[in-house]
Structure 1
């Protein structure tokens, strides 16, 4: 089953954290007794050993994926293409005797534990047993670079793997020379050096503290590069694909946090998000904030160090290894204003919806069947929730309605006694299905054929979740409804398998929660609740949610309410036009976009959608002029370059089309439209080799038209899941309410 993505959303599907920052550029609190090496002078060790090591390793190495391609399916490379002796990597302990704070934080992070956690090692073992250890190179390029580059990932390897405990260690991140945004380990790593000589040549091996402290500028030059502070640095690993070499099937995108960030309001590189930010936030802004020192660290500035905890959503590492500080900070991070929950509207007995609740009066009586609409906004993260491998993460909406006596009128999203999540819960996840139409329940991504649906929330967008229940005749008022977003790292089936323990208990974090109270009878409008967004924003978020639910008429009506409340807000008019465009009401869209541009001349967002309208109505020159202006204002807008290139292509201006699509590929090397159009454009320009390459990439990356049969087979077997694949649906609790009411001695109505 192909996931429906409206045309205006294509290309907008974005927190990467593979980075280490802050070399010792300043001396702050250095103590001489911390010196690790006794020799006073810096020494130079010629890099002859790695070549000798590489030659010996190559003699017994399985080049499964091609001669001269030792590291595939990972895209990671060494600077000279050779294997590297693991002894050439300074240990984290070596770095940590001076950088005590960075080392202490790193030890509790996902980077430090990237290889040794039971969920990673067991999954990697499954892959090795099913296909061979050489296939784990796909994973280890990011999870255990030293294992990959040392040649340890081959049958019969005798490499001493004591480095496994360090995972992604200091000398890995700080030896990366360049990256690109293909992901799956798309970086180039040189032999580590913590110092360079007076000519800038690397000095290999461990050097003394005195040598480093005497030449701090040379230490910084050896271990720090400007691009370490960019999101592109993170993209090398926090974006990944499943290539044909791994799955013997075709290229499949796995994770794309960099792309999600790059197209979000946080990056400020695209005009299309529904909201704008005052400043740019990179991966490092959120995941490496500067924090007060607890331990000495010469890399600090003004007593603060860029955090090497890389806080994210991994609550399980902290639990398994008893990292109390990491756990507390992770929970705080997850609760830090990520979501806004708005219990927005209420329908009675199949009638029209009263909304926004609190601002409009509503009357509720016993015996009413009510449908509550909750709008959940992802406002605090620059990528989807949940991120990364969504098939084994578990985040969901829990809804409960109770009367004044505590009787449960409705409950959805509860955990069952065995720890399993209610299968009908609204969860922010997907499923990975194999060729047999069955779930890859243990994260066997190499056997995946299709994801039947994807219910994650992109950055800056909203989802609507609807719950229906009946108020019993003997219910005692008032009654309350509570909606909350819960998170735990893994689903129960997976963690039970990993930990080999039935009903292994994981931490559950309530990321956000909201409650509204309703009287039985009249509920007059009242003053604004401090927990609510401004009224215009409540309507705006509802409109976004309805747009993504493909309810275009209702979406346009919601955005019209925003116009009523904020007639000077240009984006509100553009939002109405987006709904009109999806509804193929092009003339209406043109008129209201003109109003947006009258309020905000040269507004790139309005110009982009106006260009799509113009092109659909045959006005290619006008569309091109608008898109060129958008691309000028936002030179890294992949959407602008994609649509501009296609417009030139329609005019047979192949050189101009080529320029736009090549620019697009510089932003996203795997853009499917770029592969397709360039395969044609290159051919028509006589560039046959390039045309063949792009055609092959397109053939490998395009959708498999037969894959939907696997999805349909899975959904046929799991009707409780099928409801979640429908963009607009209701979680009805009527049957459950009846059962609970009887159990509680309340007559069902």
Structure 2
């Protein structure tokens, strides 16, 4: 403490001189600014000024760490021997809480700059320690009345003296402090105004002048997709998925999404072929019917007004990251029935991948509240978010007749065994199967969200392996070979998923089983059946556009010499299936009763019949043949369930003159040997455990396959 003629004076006396006043007022002004901006970040809505405040708050917090530490240390050394008082206790409490504020602030800054996310614990510690420090420090520095101090003079006599009047110095100090605070707030305002003056403004985005609306008031009709504003959205707000995969963000998930069907839903050549034919038949605006799910970036930005979307925004992104993660509401009526809203942008978010992107990423990590709110995963975890697109119908706007239900994976799941099992622990959601947990290679590639929620390296995979093992290689999609292999393994049921292994059966998704014939002799007629069971699919199989997809059973009967004596389900050289093949498909028809085989849905008015296997159910088919008199036993019956993404009629339509074929995947198979003899009972050995043939009902005669 400073000495006077009357003894030691309080520490505040050291701030009476001009240099001390300036230093203390400057430091106090910065601390008050930090407190105000901290409260603003906590209480005020997300905005440009708040983001600027975060940046300046961080910079100034780093700048004052050393000065405030030295000041507090010197203050403590100077006053530690003074008598204990309530004011001194407040000072000590404020000192330690301020130390916690500084330490937690340093931790948060480090995590925001070099980590994947800030820890909620440190965020709360920084907030509440800062709030706690304010009253203690405020009371400690609050002016108090002048008091006379006792002092023993050198003659041993007690004396009293009155402290000097520090009011003028204190007023100068607080005046300078106020100037510091208001100066810093002005800096925030100026920087925020400058940014808003030069930042891209997407609020005035409008539809093209020649935009056509032949389907009524809805600007995106006949699609059922909507935006919160009711108007179009700038494509920059809908696309840009690459930024999600930037280093330190959702790197691994972006890599997976880049290979999946959602990413290339617009680029898909089959979709482009159908869309081109639809536009040719019904006009460019009709393409909006498909675009809500296949090409939402182009749809919601008003680009579905031309004859093609190949050069439109989002062609290479399909259902972009923000399309799914920024949906606000969905309706399981289907046909892309969702409401979408753009996220509130962080500073420089749409400036590209330059140096300013580091500021964006820092702000997202340091101030994640708005990012978490805009991309809240509550809806994405709900199966209804899948139902918005994985359920389709067509109405009179397109087919000029009326409402017809088309593919419907969502309702299949909703009413199927995987959602209605009496035991809730045996129920499965779409995400548990198609987005099974995958682990990132290392912590640097782990997803920040999942790290925060305690999943560590695990995350919901975004490969969405399903049923398209054809298109990745055709469009040369990223990770095409691996994605094709993932789809093939998925179709065959070879993927092991630990978290649902106790519920999901082992083995093929749809095992095929042969029910062998009754005892037969050479020269006699024989009959056997194939049974396909949907053991693992959460929806009917096949699923999707059933007029397009082909799943069928190929069977062969051969004798001991290897000679084929019966064959059904052969794939002919021209790519078509031989007549009489057991095919799982839907036979949609147009107004003239002709079968729809090219996915020309604008002609679709109904279906003659549909053959798909509901979850937990089976289907069967009976075959009859005559055993040749010279056949040598035992007979070998083989059956395999085969699958391809598109029938040959569609391929010849989509790729005229090229005669291309989609790859065929064998999903399951069975083999039975049947002895030929005069024994009273014939023993048959199957690769799959058999049920009694008498439990199988008779099936109708086969329809011609295509």
Pick the TM interval, shorter chain.
0.5 to 0.7
What is the CA–CA distance in structure 1 between the aligned matches of 2:291 and 2:551, rounded to whole Å? 27
Deviation at 1:456, TM superposition (A): 1.2
Computing the radius of gyration from Cα coordinates, the structure with the larger value is 2
Instruction: State the 1:441 CA deviation.
Output: 2.7
Residue 314 (structure 2) pairs with residue 143 (structure 1)? no
What residue is the counterpart of 1:334 in the other structure?
491
Cα contact 2:587–2:610 (8 A) shared by 1: yes
Counterparts of 1:73 and 1:511 in 2: how far apart (Å)? 37
TM-score, scaled relative to structure 2: 0.64
In structure 1, the partner of 2:514 is 343
C-alpha displacement of 1:474: 1.0
User: Deviation string for 1:6-27 (max 9, x for gaps)?
Assistant: xxxxxxxxxxxxxxxxxxxx99
2:596 corresponds to 1:449: no
Q: 2:212 aligns with which of 49, 62, 79?
A: 62
- Give 1:525 deviation, angstroms: 7.5
CA contact (8 A) 2:469 2:645 kept: yes
Query: Take 2:577 and 2:297, find their aligned partners in 1: how far apart are those partners?
Result: 38
Count of residue pairs brought into register by the alignment = 486
Write the mapping of 1:491-640 to structure 2, written as runs, cut at 5 A.
491-521=647-677, 522=679, 531-532=688-689, 546=697
Tell me if 1:79 matches 2:233: no
Match of residue 257 from structure 2? 106
Is the 2:516–2:684 Cα contact (8 Å) retained in structure 1? no
Cα 1:307–1:66 shift into 2, 3 Å:
same
Secondary structure of residue in 2 paired with 1:52: coil
Question: Cα distance, 1:51 vs. partner?
Answer: 4.3
Deviation at 1:375, TM superposition (A): 1.7
How has the CA–CA distance of structure 1 residues 90 and 32 changed in structure 2, closer, same or farther, with 3 Å as cutoff? farther
Q: Which residue of 2 aligns with 1:676?
A: none
Q: Deviations over 1:465-517 (max 9, x none)?
A: 11111111111111110111100111112123223354313221110100000
3-state SS of paired residue (2:379): helix
Pick from 455, 460, 471 the counterpart of residue 317 of structure 1: 471
Distance 2:313 2:334 in 1: 27
Structure 1 residue 132 and structure 2 residue 283: aligned? Answer: yes
Counterpart contact for 2:466–2:491, Cα < 8 Å:
yes
Match of 1:461 among 607, 612, 617: 617
Q: CA deviation at 1:225?
A: 3.0
Would you say the 8 A contact 2:571–2:578 is kept in 1? Answer: yes
Please give the per-residue CA displacement for 1:706-725, whole angstroms capped at 9, x wherever unaligned. Answer: xxxxxxxxxxxxxxxxxxxx
Structure of greater relative contact order (alpha carbons < 8 Å, 6+ residues apart): 1
Deviations 1:543-591 (A, max 9, x none): 5x63xxxx6xxxxxxxxxxxxxxxxxxxxxxxxxxxxxxxxxxxxxxxx
Q: 1:454 to 1:31 in 2, by over 3 A?
A: farther
Cα distance, 1:160–1:501 mapped onto 2, change above 3 Å? closer
Distance 1:141 1:169 in 2: 12
Aligned counterpart, 1:368: 524
1:304–1:526 CA distance, 2 compared to 1 (3 A): farther
The 2-side partners of 1:141 and 1:84 are apart by: 14
Shift of 1:215: 3.0
Q: For residues 528 and 310 of structure 2, what CA distance do their matches in structure 1 show?
A: 60
User: CA offsets per residue over residues 220-254 of structure 1, 9 Å max, x none?
Assistant: 22212312112111000000110111111101111
Aligned-residue RMSD, C-alpha: 3.4
Superposition map of 1:274-313 within 5 A: 278-294=425-441, 296-299=445-448, 300=450, 301-313=455-467
CA displacement 1:421-455 (0-9 Å, x = unmatched): 11321100012221233233321111112211111
1:410 CA drift (Å): 0.6
Distance 1:255 1:193 in 2: 35
Residues 269-320 of structure 1: CA deviation (Å, up to 9, x unaligned): 7x7xxxx885211111110000122471324432222110111000112231
Q: How much does 1:388 deviate?
A: 1.4
Contact 1:50–1:83 at 8 Å: present in 2 too? no
State whether residues 468 and 730 of structure 1, in contact with CA within 8 Å, keep that contact through their aligned partners in structure 2: no
Structure 2 Cα separation of the partners of residues 730 and 496 of structure 1: 25
Deviations 1:635-668 (A, max 9, x none): xxxxxxxxxxxxxxxxxxxxxxxxxxxxxxxxxx
CA contact (8 A) 2:337 2:389 kept: yes
Write out per-residue CA displacement over residues 174-197 of structure 1, whole angstroms, 9 at most, x where no aligned residue: 11001111000111000134769x
- Pairing 1:262-277 to 2, within 5 Å after superposition: 262-268=414-420
Shift in alpha-carbon separation, 1:158–1:437, aligned structure 2, 3 A: closer
Q: CA deviation at 1:373?
A: 1.6
Offset at 1:149?
A: 1.0
Change (3 A) 1:259 1:331: same
8 Å contact from structure 1 (residues 72, 137) kept in 2? yes
- C-alpha spacing 1:229/1:81, structure 2 compared with 1 (3 Å): same
Candidates 106, 116, 121, aligned match of 2:272: 121
SS in 1 for 2:643: strand
C-alpha contact 1:373 1:466 (8 A) present in aligned 2? yes
Equivalent-residue separation in structure 2 for 1:48 and 1:730 (angstroms): 63
Contact 2:526 2:625 in 1 (8 A): yes
* Structure 1: gaps (5+ residues): 1-25, 36-40, 197-204, 348-362, 552-726, 734-749
CA distance in 2, matches of 1:512, 1:66: 49
Aligned mates of 2:704, 2:393 — CA distance in 1? 37
Distance change >3 Å, CA 65–CA 475, structure 1 → 2: same
Asked whether the 8 Å contact 1:51–1:82 carries over to 2, the reply is no
How many Å separate the matches in 2 of 1:235 and 1:731? 32
SS at match of 1:229: coil
Please, which of 571, 574, 581 is the counterpart of residue 415 of structure 1?
A: 571
Tell me the equivalent position of 1:88. 237
For 1:65 and 1:125, the matched residues in 2 are separated by: 19
Task: Encode CA deviations 1:336-370: one digit per residue, 9 max, x unaligned.
Answer: 021122222524xxxxxxxxxxxxxxx33211210
Looking at structure 2, the residues matched to 470 and 492 of structure 1 have their Cα atoms a distance apart, in angstroms, of: 31
Cα pair 2:309 2:315 within 8 Å, conserved: no
| Structure 1 residues 351-430: aligned runs within 5 Å | 363-430=519-586
- Following the alignment from structure 1 to structure 2, what is the Cα–Cα distance between the partners of residues 186 and 393? 24
